[in-house]
Amino acid sequence: MRRALFLAALAAGLVACGDSLSPEDLTGTWSGTTSQGRAVGFTVVAAGLSQVSLSYHLNGTFCSYDSDLEFTLGTPLEIIDLEFEAVNFSIGVSTPLTVSGAFTYESEARGSASISNPECGGKANFTWEAQKN
């Protein structure tokens, strides 16, 4: 009898651990902080990331500056297996942005970003963490 109860409890635990987040669990607004101590935020809809806001500091050979980006994606960035990535996403004429992330829990996400500015001779690399609002 004890063994049957133990096996039933173990099976129930395995089923609970196998539960995964659905896109509906992720929908909403998210906000957090970068490793530079600056703000990051994004909006998730059923189809993926639809809006991104990001503050960063870039220190280059020819210039140094702070910037706040906010943009809406015409086609949401798809979330696959709780992860997303945009490589060389253009935010200006010659300023590519690479951003990636993963949802670790229903209300927590982490990732990294890299912004290059060849005219400034520099690049900003940082990590970020966000929570669902």
> What pLDDT is recorded for position 14?
33
Read off the pTM.
0.79
Angle 128-81-52 from CA coordinates, rounded to 5°: 40
CB under 8 A, 24+ apart: contacts of 32-35: 32/109, 32/128, 32/129, 32/130, 32/131, 33/128, 33/129, 34/113, 34/126, 34/127, 34/128, 35/126, 35/127, 35/128
Alpha carbons 106 and 94: distance in angstroms, whole number? 35
> What pLDDT is recorded for position 61?
96
Contact 120, 61 (CB under 8 A): yes
Q: pLDDT digit of tens for each residue in the chain (133 aa)?
A: 433 333 333 333 333 344 567 767 899 999 999 999 999 999 999 899 999 999 999 999 999 999 998 888 889 999 999 999 987 766 665 678 889 999 988 899 999 999 999 889 999 999 999 999 9
CATH code: domain 21-132 is 2.40.128
